[in-house]
Amino acid sequence: MTVLLSVAVAIAAPGTASASELIDRNATAVELQVAHNGQALLSYQARGKHWNVLAWGALNALPPTTARPQVKFLLDYSGGYGTYKRDVWKTFENACLPYDGPPLKWFVTGCKAADGTYWAVQSWQRMLPNYGLQPSALQAVHELRLSHWAGPIAELTVNLNWAYRRYHHVFGSLTYLGKPVYGFKSTSGGVPLDTFGRNLYVDTLDSAYGAGWKRENSFLMHRNTGMFCYGFYPHGSRPIGAGTRYRATVIGPGVTPDVYWEAKGLERYDQEFDLLMHTIQKEFLAGDSLCRAV
């Protein structure tokens, strides 16, 4: 309800937002245009009506800092009337070229602006419940997310290994332009409370949770290092979520696109591989006090 209220407020006047930007949910008929002045127009159907959303004012991402908030879009859900007192969307002149940027998972549409920067729209299910539980209608929504960048996008590194010679385990990092991505405030459950923190959303395929992709868990990039580690351990009454494949998605820093990783799951335990990855893990996670090789 809170998010929908925020959207309603944005209809009357331009609002602000951060991250590969959440624009709406369960959108269809999505179209993206970008004018010579650098403003984007995102048009789509959602919640029983047609929307024309203007977006501008943000590019790429800042490194983590407490000195200022992360970059964020200005958004006008009225199609320009809230900002300019006229329906800009009706006379909007598109100057965007076909998209030729890096491949993006969950890609809906995108283009290359006249200034050489890229705009993209992605849509995926971020809100799924952990441990393969059946999602409610609210949890099953596909979020529509907008990004704008030039140059490299964030890099998600994920390594797959064993923990305690029994459980599947992942460790890795999120970096942007060679620097770690992390936030400064979060809840005890790992939900970011600032514009810099990022969660990694991990899914498992054909596991004990059932056929197809199911959400295993989501967790926070560690402060100062941008690293993470996670074991597919038992969780209460839920079975172990080890799968035949794994995938992970993270919201890009600032207004850069969301990034993705996928790999085949581990098969029978291999001691030689385990010892090798144990050494790699110790070296990779050196300096991160929240992770240790097990």
Residue 293 lies in a domain: no
- Among residues 85, 114, 149, the one where a domain terminates is 149
* In a shared domain, residues 118 and 197: no
Mean pLDDT of 225-236: 96
pLDDT of residue 19: 58
Q: Give the whole-number percent of the chain exceeding pLDDT 70.
A: 94
How many C-beta atoms lie closer than 10 Å to residue 186's C-beta? 17
Mean pLDDT of 138-145: 98
* In a shared domain, residues 14 and 131: yes
pLDDT of residue 20: 77
CA–CA distances in Å: residue 227 to residues 170, 255, 292: 11, 20, 12
* In a shared domain, residues 77 and 16: yes
* 245-265 confidence digits (pLDDT tens): 999 999 999 999 999 999 999
pLDDT at 2 over 50: no
pLDDT of residue 221: 98
* In a shared domain, residues 218 and 185: yes
* In a shared domain, residues 80 and 116: yes
* In a shared domain, residues 85 and 11: yes
Residue 51 lies in a domain: yes
pLDDT of residue 21: 85
pLDDT of residue 4: 30
pLDDT at 14 over 80: no
Q: Is 165 helix (H, G, I), strand (E, B) or coil?
A: coil
* 180-200 confidence digits (pLDDT tens): 999 999 999 999 999 999 999
Q: Is 251 helix (H, G, I), strand (E, B) or coil?
A: coil
* In a shared domain, residues 124 and 175: no
Which DSSP category does 91 fall into? G
* In a shared domain, residues 145 and 165: no
* In a shared domain, residues 61 and 196: no
CA-based torsion, 128, 253, 262, 216: positive or negative: negative
CA–CA distances in Å: residue 286 to residues 58, 155, 239, 271, 281: 34, 19, 31, 22, 8
pLDDT at 67 over 60: yes
Residue 161 lies in a domain: yes
Tokens standing for 16?
């602000």
- Among residues 110, 127, 149, the one where a domain terminates is 149
Mean pLDDT of 58-85: 97
* In a shared domain, residues 207 and 94: no
Residue 233 lies in a domain: yes
Q: Give the H or E element holding residue 273.
A: helix 271-284
Q: Which amino acid is at 59?
A: L
pLDDT band (50, 70, 90) for residue 207:
very high
Q: Is 89 helix (H, G, I), strand (E, B) or coil?
A: helix
| Nearest Cα residue to 25 out of 52, 10, 11, 7 | 7
Beta strands in 91-242 (DSSP E): 97-98, 107-112, 118-124, 143-149, 155-163, 167-176, 179-180, 199-207, 210-220, 227-231
pLDDT band (50, 70, 90) for residue 12:
very low
CA–CA distances in Å: residue 267 to residues 166, 168, 244, 246, 280: 11, 10, 8, 13, 19
Residue 189 lies in a domain: yes
Cα 63 to Cα 51: distance, rounded to the nearest angstrom? 33
- Among residues 133, 149, 165, the one where a domain terminates is 149
Mean pLDDT of 146-169: 97
Domain count, the chain: 2
Domain of residue 230 covers: 155-284
Tokens standing for 101?
């940027």
Residue 290 lies in a domain: no
Q: Which amino acid is at 45?
A: Q
Q: Is 248 helix (H, G, I), strand (E, B) or coil?
A: strand
* In a shared domain, residues 94 and 180: no
* In a shared domain, residues 12 and 129: yes
